Structure 1
Amino acid sequence: MSLHADRSHRTVTVHHGWFYGRPDQVAAVRAFVADRLGDCPVVDDAVLLTSELATNAVQHSPSGLPEAGFGVLIEHEHGHSVRVTVHDGGSYFDAPYVAQPAPDAEHGRGLFLVDALAHSWGSYATLSGRKTWFAKKCGS
């Protein structure tokens, strides 16, 4: 799905995709974001950060259960910013947080990357799960 709006001479494009909560779907999420953002200057960061949030949805929420899944919403204000939200089956009480893994740990750096590369990010509970988002300014 794609929606377009003109806000004070800025074009906003919105895309939504739904993915099964399986590890192989993370590659599909990366392709979805890369395709929808095209030549956006921050497409590489957006692909990486969305991949981290999608991986968390699969590994740390009920979205990773058989036949479950998660949504990805991309809001692109052309020339200004990108905001991506991953809506998973996460807990109302357990919010994601930036971990401090051991230097030789193989996992645990996903939200550290989000925190380091995004302009802002956050997470909030909804009646249907948890939404974790990041925003990235174009050109930063």
Structure 2
Amino acid sequence: MTLHPNDADRTRVAACRWFPGSPSSVRDVRRFIANRLADCPEADDAVLVASELATNAIQHTESGTWTTGFLVMLEHTEDEGALITVHDAGTTSSTPYVEDFKPDTDCGRGLTLVNAVAKSWGSQGGPAERMSWCVVRCH
């Protein structure tokens, strides 16, 4: 999946990295995105949504083990923004969705934050693999 499959003239920055399925990897995802988008005024938004998608991969899919892990891809153009994609090992038990959360709970806010911050987002896949993505402004 690319932001600009038919436009070879645009300047595109692309990077990907595999992360082990450990909670400590979320910190590394944040650093990975922040370093790649250092010149982007909305880098903090991109870091936030990437960490939420990575956390979901670890907590809610089969990628939550050290050896399985997950892949984070980043594509960026100044015109279109940053596309962040998290590829995980999927799950048979749930599909990502924005849930109503109670203010006094510690979980359930991740996709609500992604929904509020990202220009667009989505998820597709099933029991063997899932791809969750979002686009964040970056001009």
- TM-score with structure 1 setting the length: 0.87
TM-fit CA distance, 1:128: 4.7
**Cα drift, residue 79 of structure 1:** 3.9
- Measured against aligned partners, the alpha-carbon deviations of 1:54-98 in whole angstroms (never above 9, x if no partner) come to 011111111002421000000101243111000011126732000
**Would you say 1:81 and 2:86 are equivalent positions?**
no
Number of residue pairs aligned between Structure 1 and Structure 2: 135
Q: How does 1:1-140 map to 2 (within 5 A)?
A: 7=7, 9-91=9-91, 94-125=94-125, 128-139=128-139
Residues in 2 aligned to 1:48 and 1:79: alpha-carbon distance in whole angstroms = 21
Identity of aligned residues (%): 46
CA contact (8 A) 1:92 1:129 kept: no
SS of 2:63's equivalent in the other structure is helix
Deviates most, 60-69 or 114-123: 60-69
Structure 2 segments unaligned to the other structure (5+ residues): none
Which 4+ stretches in 1 moved above 3 angstroms?
Answer: 5-9
Relative distance call for 1:84 and 1:92 in structure 2 (3 A) is farther
After TM superposition, give the deviation of residue 9 of structure 1 in Å.
Answer: 4.6
Cα shift at 1:38: 1.4
User: Which AA in structure 1 matches 2:52?
Assistant: E
Unaligned runs of 5+ in 1: none
CA pair 6-90 structure 1, distance change in 2 beyond 3 A: closer
Find the aligned partners of 1:116 and 1:46 in 2 and give their Cα distance: 12
Counterparts in 2 of 1:93 and 1:31: CA distance versus 1, 3 Å: same
How far did residue 122 of structure 1 move?
0.2
Q: CA deviation at 1:40?
A: 1.0
Structure 1 59/93 Cα, relative in aligned 2: closer, same or farther at 3 Å?
Answer: closer
TM-score normalised to structure 2 length: 0.88
Amino acid at match of 1:31: R
The root-mean-square deviation of aligned C-alpha atoms, in Å, is 2.1
Query: Relative to total residues, which structure has the larger strand share, 1 or 2?
Result: 1
**Secondary structure at the residue paired with 2:11?**
strand
Q: Give 3-state SS (helix, strand or coil) of 1:38's partner.
A: coil
**Kept after mapping to 1: 8 A contact 2:21/2:68:** yes
- Whether contact under 8 Å (2:18, 2:71) holds in the other structure is yes
Q: CA contact under 8 A between 2:20 and 2:65: conserved in structure 1?
A: no
Greater alpha carbon shift after TM alignment, 24-33 vs 126-135: 126-135
